Structure 1
Amino acid sequence: MDEQPTSTPAPGGDGPPEARGPWHRGPWHGGPWGLAARGPGAGLPWRSTVAVGVFVLVGSGYAARNQPERLGLDTLGRLLLVLMVLPLLARHRRPVPVVFAVAVVTLAYLAAGYAYGPVFVPVALACFAAVVHGHRRAAWWALGLLWAGHLLLAHWLYRYLPPAGDGPASWGQELPVAAFVVAILAASELVRVRREQWAKERAERAAAERRRADEERLRIARELHDVLAHSLSVINVQAGVGLALLDSDPGQARTALTTIKAASKEALGEVRQVLDTLRAPGDAPRAPAPGLDRLPELVEQAAAAGLTVRTETEGRPRRLPPGTELAAFRIVQEALTNVVRHSGSRTATVVLGYRPGALELSVDDAGPATGGDAGGSGNGLAGMRERAAALGGTIEAGTRPDGGFRVRASLPVRPEEPTP
């Protein structure tokens, strides 16, 4: 098979390479004249060129028999036909020189007085290649010059050129020639436009894939942050307790170490679950995403860190969409983690409000802030806001008038999504 171009033309045709868009990246483009050669190992369209050459030679021979008023096909005529077809080998590498060379040789063939026939097929192929590769103006100029030269030969210069005694051509025959030229340009432009559309669609699909990949990376980063921030905060607090009581109260120190072991085990399990999504595209996680049914586990972990958590429910509890369940769980987890890290209070209140069109939750602690650094990246509130915004919800976080701190979230839920 013939070698096909690995790139396609720039939208809008001629112009500097940097202005031609993503299509102007083929190895045959080296500037406005398309003079850059391909790599040394690149092939040439031999088969199609040979086929066109055979067709033109054989067809022109038959045409000469039916046009006695024109010269018969001799050695010079066959040589001109070969020279007309030979440049087509470089039509993908150097489309602009090729289209002009084919047009000039075709004009020389007609000026020599040889018979009409399929001699315009190489011109059509060269113009098609030029337009498809982004050099529409060159194709228009080549066809325009060929047509103008043909008019001069057929209506004014015929008396000075062979064959002897030739008369002027009929103006009526120029209409089919004009229709042929328009058909060549229209077909070439149609292919060029279709290629640009395909390029745009491929670029849009690639952008969508990159966007989905970025969203997935953000989701995984958020999950890892929430899991590690909560578990490591518990481990940090319990490690401090264990070190402080190691000599004075070994039993309590052992309890702290047990809590550290349980928290680290759970964190490893959740991290493994998040990373499982990276095994292969499209694979489902091996374990379900956490939801509000695991809220008692958060309470137990907070208790192990020395924080007493009281939970309240307003409205009739119901099953929520998985995305809402996960977001609510992570928001409560991050809020409790911040209480453990930054609040001097050892109590917190979690309120879940099931409204007709939303889940409203709040986490309050009595404060005040300790001002100490318990580690962490400082991205907890930003992560909560991102989770809420992804569902179309909102997050409010700030100091209460009495000195405590409150996190309030509203996550919208469409009425048809919850399942009783």
Structure 2
Amino acid sequence: MRVWRRVLVRDALLAVLVAAVSLTLFTFWGPGARGVPVEGLRDPDALGVVLVLLACVPVAVRRRWPLTGLCAALVPETALEGLGYGTGLTGAAGLVMLYSVAAYRGLAMALGGLALSLALYATSAAAGAGAPAAWSDHLVVVVALVAVWGVGRSLRLRRAYMEELRDRAARLERARAADRRAAQAEERARIARELHDVVAHHVSVMTVQASAARRVLASDPGLAGEALTAIEETGRMALTEMRNIVGVLRADARAELGPQPGTRDLPALVDQMREAGLATGLAVEGAPGPVPAGVDLAAYRLVQEGLTNALRHAGAGATARVTVRYEPHELDVRVEDDGRGAGDGGDGDGRGHDANPQEGGARAGRGHGLVGIRERVALYGGILSIGPRPGGGFEVRARFPLKDGQ
């Protein structure tokens, strides 16, 4: 409403200006205005002034009712012509209204306004009040009408084009915002998986080592001290990995980020599990070749999660074995153990606390490690199998496709 008030005020001021110009032309430069009579034309008088003013009034509502205003402006202009006053340049109001119809209404209505203006002018010219005008004069008037109409249509098309550009920019901005939110959600999920893998593994190792230290603290303080030292080293490793993971979230762009672990770090992981009390072996089959960084990290996390589950749930005296097989178009990673499980308790059946209940008959629990592994493997088009082994124990295996031998 406030916008319309401002529009009406501007149009009212324009109507006043058009009226002032039209009256000046009609009174001082019209036919017979300087005392020189023109044959066939009436001198300016009060009636003529009223008609000129009536022709200018519709300009005040030119944007709200342009076609109606055009019709209202053409009536007094036609009357001026019919009564023999001769409008001359006093037809400015009609031109303004014709422009307004072309600029603020659709093509059909705009063409109707142009046809109406041309038809009324042709009718007035045919009536021929006063001396007949040359054909060139009529041509000038027709060209002026068409030019004013064309300017109005051009401005309307330009406004429509600019509006379309603004809408497109708004749509692109919304699309970018949606993509940004999706990327942020994906990054949060990735960081959550990484943190879970790091925390679950290292905390599990520290828990087992702390339990062993507590059992031998009284009988063998030296062995308990070694276990506590291992706990300290494991804690430092966990902190280092967590810093590397969450460093990307820090505002300081100079945060030191270390490389992500991969299959090259499996020997150190196996040694760590041995120190924690799980007899673990590592076998590498085939010629190691270049592996994509994402697949390399996913393979490492799979081994880490599989060994962590074996350490927590395989039971005393269990052994684990990690097998990494490099094939021309596939990377095969397997973690298997021969444990019978620690029995029910804790957070459910430990052998399947992270597994899908439909995979190998394992019962689901509350963990998320193997769920995250499943997402990692699926992300790179791999095949994951999780479940108990036929001869006892548990197995986690993933096969990652390598494109073009990589």
TM superposition score normalised by structure 2: 0.69
2:24 and 2:395 mapped to 1: Cα distance?
Answer: 93
1:123 maps to a residue whose letter is S
- Unpaired segments of 5 or more residues in structure 2? 32-40, 78-89, 133-137, 348-352, 354-365
Report if the CA contact (8 A) 1:347-1:366 is conserved.
Answer: yes
1:209 is aligned, of 175, 180, 191, to: 180
Find the aligned partners of 2:161 and 2:16 in 1 and give their Cα distance.
25
Match of 2:381 in 1: 392
Q: Counterpart amino acid of 1:354?
A: Y
C-alpha separation between the residues in 2 aligned to 1:312 and 1:304?
18
| Structure 1 CA distance for aligned equivalents of residues 214 and 102 of structure 2 | 85
Q: Greater helix percent: which structure?
A: 2
Paired AA for residue 325 in structure 2:
G
Query: For the Cα contact (< 8 Å) 2:59–2:97, is it kept in 1?
Result: no
Q: Does 1:369 align with 2:341?
A: yes
Return the offset for 1:383.
0.4
Spell out the pairing of 1:3-42 with structure 2 (5 A cutoff).
none
Given that 1:306 and 1:346 are in contact with CA atoms closer than 8 Å, whether structure 2 keeps it comes out as no
Distance in 2 between residues matched to 1:142 and 1:281, nearest whole Å: 62
Displacement of 1:283 in angstroms is: 7.0
* AA partner of residue 390 (structure 1): L
Partner of 2:209: 238
The alpha-carbon deviation at position 99 of structure 1 amounts to 3.5
The change in CA–CA distance for 1:297 and 1:75 in structure 2 (over 3 A counts) is: farther
Cα pair distance change 1:284/1:247, threshold 3 Å: closer
C-alpha change, 1:100 and 1:54, in structure 2 (3 Å) is: closer
Find the partner of 1:357 among 322, 329, 336: 329
How far, CA to CA, are the matches of 1:70 and 1:263 in structure 2? Answer: 110
Cα distance 1:67–1:307, how it changes in 2: closer, same or farther (>3 A)? farther
Which of 318, 333, 339 in structure 2 is aligned with 1:346? 318
In 1, Cα distance between equivalents of 2:183 and 2:279: 40
Task: Tell me the amino acid that sits aligned with residue 187 of structure 2.
Answer: E
Between the aligned partners of 2:227 and 2:19, the Cα distance in structure 1 is 96
Secondary structure, counterpart of 1:259 in structure 2: helix
Matches within 5 A, 1:23-62: 53=14, 57=18
Aligned partner of residue 99 in structure 1, secondary structure: coil
Distance change (3 Å), C-alpha of 1:153 and 1:45? closer
* Residues 373, 383 of structure 1: alpha-carbon distance in 2 compared, 3 angstrom cutoff: farther
1:104/1:146 contact within 8 Å kept: no
Calculate the TM-score normalised by the size of structure 1.
0.67
Partner of 1:84: 59
| Alpha-carbon distance in structure 1 between the residues aligned to 2:23 and 2:340 | 102
Distance 1:80 1:297, change over 3 A: farther
| Counterparts of 1:337 and 1:215, CA distance in 2 | 25
Given that 2:55 and 2:76 are in contact with CA atoms closer than 8 Å, whether structure 1 keeps it comes out as no
After TM superposition, give the deviation of residue 126 of structure 1 in Å.
6.8
Q: Does 1:327 align with 2:327?
A: no
Code of the aligned partner of 1:99: R
Q: State the match for 2:307 in structure 1.
A: 336
Partners of 2:278 and 2:319 within 8 A in 1: yes
Contact 2:284 2:323 in 1 (8 A): yes
Q: 2:91 aligns with which of 115, 118, 124?
A: 115
Cα deviation, residue 80, structure 1: 7.5
In the superposition, relative to structure 1, how do residues 390 and 45 fare at CA in structure 2: closer, same or farther (>3 Å)?
Answer: farther
Answer whether contact 1:361 1:408 (CA < 8 A) is retained. Answer: yes
- Quote the Cα distance in structure 2 between the aligned partners of 1:63 and 1:373: 103
Determine which structure has more spread, i.e. the larger CA radius of gyration: 2
- CA separation of 1:154/1:352 partners in 2, compared to 1, >3 Å: closer, same or farther? same
**For the structure 1 residues 106 and 371, does the alpha-carbon distance in structure 2 shift closer, same or farther, using more than 3 Å as the test?**
farther
| Structure 1: unaligned runs, 5 residues or longer | 1-34, 88-97, 128-137, 159-163
- Return the match for 2:165 from 194, 199, 213: 194
Report the Cα distance in structure 1 between the residues aligned to 2:42 and 2:319, rounded to whole angstroms.
107
CA distance in 1, matches of 2:43, 2:258: 85
CA deviations on 1:148-192 (whole Å, 9 max, x unpaired) are 976897689x8xxxxx99x9x99x888778766765654444334
Show the counterpart of 1:406.
395
**Count of aligned positions:** 349
- For 1:398 and 1:251, locate their aligned partners in 2 and report how far apart those are by CA, in whole Å: 39
Identity %: 34
- Take 1:183 and 1:287, find their aligned partners in 2: how far apart are those partners? 61
Q: Secondary structure at the match of 2:404?
A: coil
Note the C-alpha offset of 1:246. 2.5
Name the CA distance, whole Å, in 1 between partners of 2:42 and 2:243: 85
Q: Over aligned residue pairs, what C-alpha RMSD do you find?
A: 4.6
User: Do the aligned partners of 1:341 and 1:374 also contact (CA within 8 Å) in 2?
Assistant: no
Which range is displaced more, 186-195 or 66-75? Answer: 66-75
Measure, in 1, the Cα distance between the counterparts of 2:280 and 2:212.
Answer: 19
Q: Offset at 1:110?
A: 3.4
Q: Compute the displacement of 1:53 (Å).
A: 4.4
Moved more, 301-310 or 56-65: 56-65
Q: 1:243-289 CA distances to partner (integer Å, 9 max, x unpaired)?
A: 22222332222222222211111111111111110124987862111
The 3-state SS of whatever aligns with 2:250 is coil
2:275 alignment partner AA:
A
2:263–2:300 contact (8 Å) kept in structure 1: yes
Distance 1:326 1:187 in 2: 55
1:76-131 deviation line (CA, Å, top 9, x unaligned): 8679768736x7xxxxxxxxxx832455445433333250465148726972xxxx
Q: 1:231 Cα deviation (Å)? A: 0.6
